[in-house]
Amino acid sequence: QEGQPIYLAVKGVVFDVTSGKEFYGKGAPYNALVGKDSTRGVAKMSLDPADLTHDTTGLTEEELKSLDDIFNNVYKAKYPIVGYTSRRILNEDGSPNLHFKPEDQPHFSIKDEF
């Protein structure tokens, strides 16, 4: 909706991409990525609805490297982190992961996040 923030998640990290409205807003080229964890789509550079998921099963080494590059050099570099998906902060049974700490997550530096 107009005037509302635009969020998308990659690798379980929720980014506010509102400043990139021309890329992620309604009718924009990458709008399909917003409102969900689109990790697989980012890795494969795909907007296919089947790829707009957190699932990285079966990705090639090249796709995983591309994912890390885009995650660090685009999303982390340009957009504020506003949260995490439940997959990062909950246990598989849905209970809170009391041991979750942003600074313990792979590829993160606490000073970069907060």
pLDDT tens by residue, 53-112: 999 999 999 999 999 999 999 999 999 998 888 776 777 787 877 777 665 554 444 444
Task: Please report the pLDDT score of residue 3 as a whole number.
Answer: 85
What's the CA gap between 8 and 74, in Å, rounded? 13
Residue 6, token pair as written in the block: 């635009």
- Residues 8-50: tens digit of each pLDDT: 999 989 999 999 999 999 999 999 999 999 999 999 999 999 9
Contact indicator for 31, 47 with CB cutoff of 8 Å: no
Task: Please report the pLDDT score of residue 102 as a whole number.
Answer: 64
- In CATH, what is the architecture of 7-104? Roll (3.10)
